[in-house]
Amino acid sequence: MQEFIYYNPNSLEFPLNEEVLISSTLKELKEINCIVSNSDQVNAQVVAKEIDFYIQNSQDNLSNKMKNVGKLYKINALRFDLSLDMEQELQVDNRVLLIGTQEQKDDFLGSKLALEFEFYHIDASILKMIDGHMGSFEVIVDNDGKETVLKVSQIVWFDATETFDRAGIYDPISSSHDDVFEQLLQNTKGHIYKKFITYDSSICQYHDRRDEVCAQCVNVCPTVAITKDDENKHLIFSDIDCLGCGGCISVCPSGALDYAPMNTESFFQISRMYEGHTPLIIPAKMNIHEINIELKEHVLPLSIEGEKFLDESKLLTLLQESGSQIVFYTDFLSKGTTDAIDILNQIYKKKYNCKAILVAQNEQELQAALQEVQFVENSRYSINQTTEKKRENFAIRLEKIVDGQDLGRVITGPSVHYAKVNVNEANCTLCLSCVGACNVDALIADATDNTLQLNSSLCTACGYCELSCPEKDCLSIEQDMIELQPSWFTYNVLAQDELFACVECGKEFATKKAVEKIAHMMSPIFSKMSKTKERTLYCCEDCKAKLMIQEGLLHA
């Protein structure tokens, strides 16, 4: 397979690396498949429209243009090689439910393709719930006071009252009868969809929790692609209903969710290609081929698919690997990406006295941003982060910025949260319930010195440790801030105790505070039973049993 093809009927004014096949005629490309091309008229796995955008608008000299066009091809080859968004196909049969009035049904079925389907009809007034997804919908209706389940593959819902965008449900009023029929028919030939999200339940702050402390991905999902099983505290993913916007990725506190088309490793490898360049991020929806604007020297476009998956860790990676401010051209920012940009801009303002990311929402703002953007002296930093999770990577990169200084605090939230755990050592018995509750290792117990320790940079601010703490006035969380000082990135002692030795055998079996607390509570009761019973409060499990057996034998 040819790796790279450049097609332009007007040819190209400068040569490219020999890896790129250049052609001005489609005829000779007809039988050739390739990985990356600048044109959608070529049989390519990836169409990189930013290549022509760069060639037409860049002010780089000819030599750099040649190098950078080659770089754009390699960036897209990397994107293809590392992507996890493999296409999947869903078989959809011809069962279709019409939800609407009799007149709407009659009008719709008068269309030319009605015989292609097996139609069912209900009035919207008896609809109670729609469950499942395209190909296997379960529609619950009120059948004269009794619930009846209708199983269908697709739904035509006139004037749908629910506003979500859901695959397999169509409203002819918001489009047309012909468009809906065409879509129904296309789906029965096999519905092609992609897997946009990957998921690691081991660091999810919703999965298997006793109480709900996080479900931000569910809250920001514009469809029903992510839903909750509240009984078991499991997330449920519907790849069929996912739009691939990536909004859930940007608000996920731990990095449990990742963006399959450009996952963390892919974004890191691509970011390294921007060393010495100013990245101009452009989502696909911004129609890059329609943008006619001058790119000053060293500005290199980065085309992305979903515009919402960029979290603070990914953006800081691109900032530091490039050593430059970033221009982000988009007419919409998700809640998570907005917060991420705000956090980074606060950090860069404190350290470098400039913004990290310049957002432009129209061509006038883009022009101004491209004039303002510049490299940031001493900001470049490169690490191998392929094994790091989101919070760990952000912490390592942020620590480099802090560089031993005290830069004060930055404010986080309302959609991206950082926090600090505080412990009242006088009330902490080192029961370690909080350590068991933390699944990102922000809280740990060190057996060598009997301490409870916290690394604030790893804390996801979920609050599950606070819920799990059994002591009163002991553990609290200071929400929505990052302290830009060295101690934020290291484990610090929150509480410490010494071990208590069994009064019978001398074996250390619990912390002193824990034993004293239980003894304080139970001594008034046990002392009324016997001195031996009271003494068991200060014994290990083995000696406790031994004393009670002896007590029983003496009384036998």
Report d(CA 281, CA 517) in Å as an integer: 58
Question: Is the predicted pLDDT of residue 153 greater than 70, yes or no?
Answer: yes
For the stretch 429-453, pLDDT in tens is 999 999 999 999 999 999 999 999 9
Instruction: Check if the beta carbon of residue 138 is closer than 8 Å to that of residue 131.
Output: yes
Residue 36 corresponds to which tokens in the numbers above? 């990356």
Strand partners, 281: 302, 328
For the stretch 334-374, pLDDT in tens is 999 999 999 999 999 999 999 999 999 999 999 999 999 99
Question: How much is the CA Rg of the chain, to the nearest whole Å?
Answer: 30
**Among residues of the chain, what percentage have pLDDT more than 90?**
81
Question: Among candidates 140, 150, 170, 148, which has minimal Cα distance to 158?
Answer: 170
For the stretch 284-309, pLDDT in tens is 999 998 999 999 999 999 999 887 89
pLDDT level of residue 164 (50, 70, 90 thresholds): low
User: Rounded to the nearest 10 degrees, how much is the dihedral formed by the CA atoms of 46, 47, 48, 52?
Assistant: 150
What are the start and end residues of each CATH 3.30.70.20 domain in the chain?
194-259
Question: Is the predicted pLDDT of residue 112 greater than 70, yes or no?
Answer: no
The pLDDT, as a whole number, for residue 436 is 96
pLDDT level of residue 554 (50, 70, 90 thresholds): low
Question: Is the predicted pLDDT of residue 99 greater than 70, yes or no?
Answer: yes
Mean pLDDT of 21-33: 90
For the stretch 242-257, pLDDT in tens is 989 999 999 999 999 9
Quickly count: other Cβ atoms within 10 Å of residue 485's Cβ: 14
**Integer angstrom CA distances of residue 261 from 46, 141, 197, 244:** 12, 39, 8, 9
Question: Is the predicted pLDDT of residue 10 greater than 80, yes or no?
Answer: yes
Whether CATH 3.30.70.3270 fits 417-496: yes
Quickly count: other Cβ atoms within 10 Å of residue 256's Cβ: 26
Mean pLDDT of 207-220: 95
CATH topology of domain 194-259: Alpha-Beta Plaits (3.30.70)
Residue 350 belongs to what H/E stretch?
helix 335-352
Question: Is the predicted pLDDT of residue 427 greater than 60, yes or no?
Answer: yes
Instruction: Check if the beta carbon of residue 33 is closer than 8 Å to that of residue 27.
Output: no
For the stretch 489-499, pLDDT in tens is 999 999 999 99
Report d(CA 180, CA 172) in Å as an integer: 6
The pLDDT, as a whole number, for residue 555 is 66
What are the start and end residues of each CATH 3.30.70.3270 domain in the chain?
417-496
The pLDDT, as a whole number, for residue 87 is 86
DSSP 8-state symbol, 296: P
Mean pLDDT of the chain: 93
**Among residues of the chain, what percentage have pLDDT more than 70?**
97
pLDDT level of residue 126 (50, 70, 90 thresholds): very high
What are the start and end residues of each CATH 3.50.50 domain in the chain?
90-193
Mean pLDDT of 187-211: 94
Question: Is the predicted pLDDT of residue 553 greater than 80, yes or no?
Answer: no
pLDDT level of residue 385 (50, 70, 90 thresholds): confident
The pLDDT, as a whole number, for residue 86 is 80
pLDDT level of residue 162 (50, 70, 90 thresholds): low
Question: Is the predicted pLDDT of residue 163 greater than 60, yes or no?
Answer: no
- Choose the CATH number for 90-193 among 3.50.50, 3.30.420, 1.10.10, 1.10.101: 3.50.50
The pLDDT, as a whole number, for residue 13 is 82
Report d(CA 256, CA 389) in Å as an integer: 9
Contact residues for 317 (Cβ-Cβ < 8 A; gap 6+):
267, 268, 271, 385, 393, 397
Strands 409-411, 419-423: parallel, antiparallel or unpaired by DSSP?
unpaired
